[in-house]
């Protein structure tokens, strides 16, 4: 049975470069101008393979690239080749925020995922959303996943330094604190090796290239593989 890959509308976001102008948050759910529509090559994934949902923003969605180049699809192919197949729903959406992710969560959980990868928060940070609100939304998402019998995998996000020291440090701290509080798997900074690197990002300096997405997949794959195995 071919893999299921649901690609939702995309658009901007990212957690990224040090220095330069700060990226701006985009309207949530607004379609991008260069959305890729290429189909992922069929993988012979068993119908009873675990379902993994990626709840994220335009980074997860792979803005400006074919959906098959976005890191969720790359991780699926890499783990399939390693003998760890899973069905995929890419719920990355343009301008995704923690509030938006929370509002979509119940519908996504009806699909009975085994794992929900949570890649949200950067747009909240770009908008200056109060840290207490970001943390509360993430906590409710993560607990909701747990209550549904699935495992949340939290991806750590960092902001550029020009958002103010107190806000940036508080933002950085809330991800590991939530992971420890809820005893959940955690990738401390999943943009490691990509954020701020010219060769890993598109000309906008914000969104990863195909090579950048392959690096993101490598950052994530070991933790996801442990959960699926």
- List, by residue number, the catalytic residues: 58, 204, 207
Candidates 175, 71, 187, 87; CA nearest to 124 is 175
Tokens of 24: 């701006």
Q: Where are the alpha helices (DSSP H) in the chain?
A: 58-61, 71-81, 98-109, 122-127, 131-147, 165-182, 210-228
Question: Which letter, b or e, does each residue of 189-213 get, where b requires 16 or more Cβ atoms within 10 Å of its Cβ?
Answer: bbbeebbbbeebbeeeebbbbbebb
User: What is the rounded (10 degree) CA torsion for 57, 63, 68, 74?
Assistant: -60
The whole-angstrom distance between residue 117's C-alpha and the CA centroid of its chain comes to 7
Using CB atoms within 10 Å of the CB of residue 27, give its burial: 0 to 12 exposed, 13 to 18 middle, 19+ buried. Answer: exposed
Residue 118 gets which letter from DSSP? Answer: E
């Amino acid at each position: 049975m071919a893999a299921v890959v649901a690609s939702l509308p995309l658009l901007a976001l990212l957690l990224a470069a040090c220095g330069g102008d700060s990226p701006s948050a985009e309207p949530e759910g607004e379609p991008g101008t260069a959305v890729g529509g290429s189909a992922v090559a069929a993988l012979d994934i068993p119908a009873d393979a675990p379902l993994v949902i990626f709840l994220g923003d335009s980074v997860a969605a792979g803005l400006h690239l074919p959906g098959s180049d976005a890191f969720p699809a790359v991780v699926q192919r890499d783990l399939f080749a390693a003998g760890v197949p899973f069905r995929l729903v890419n719920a990355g959406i343009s301008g995704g925020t923690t509030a938006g992710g929370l509002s979509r969560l119940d519908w996504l959980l009806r699909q009975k995922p085994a794992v929900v990868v949570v890649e949200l928060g950067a747009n909240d940070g770009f908008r200056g959303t109060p840290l207490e609100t970001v943390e509360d939304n993430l906590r409710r998402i993560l607990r909701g996943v747990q209550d549904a019998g699935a495992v949340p995998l939290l991806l750590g996000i960092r902001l550029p330094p020009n958002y103010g020291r107190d806000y940036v440090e508080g933002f950085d701290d809330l991800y590991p604190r939530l992971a420890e509080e809820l005893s959940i798997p955690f990738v401390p900074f999943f943009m490691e090796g990509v954020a701020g690197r010219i060769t890993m990002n598109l000309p906008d300096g914000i969104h990863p290239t195909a090579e950048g997405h392959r690096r993101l997949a490598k950052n994530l794959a070991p933790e996801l593989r442990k959960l699926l195995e």
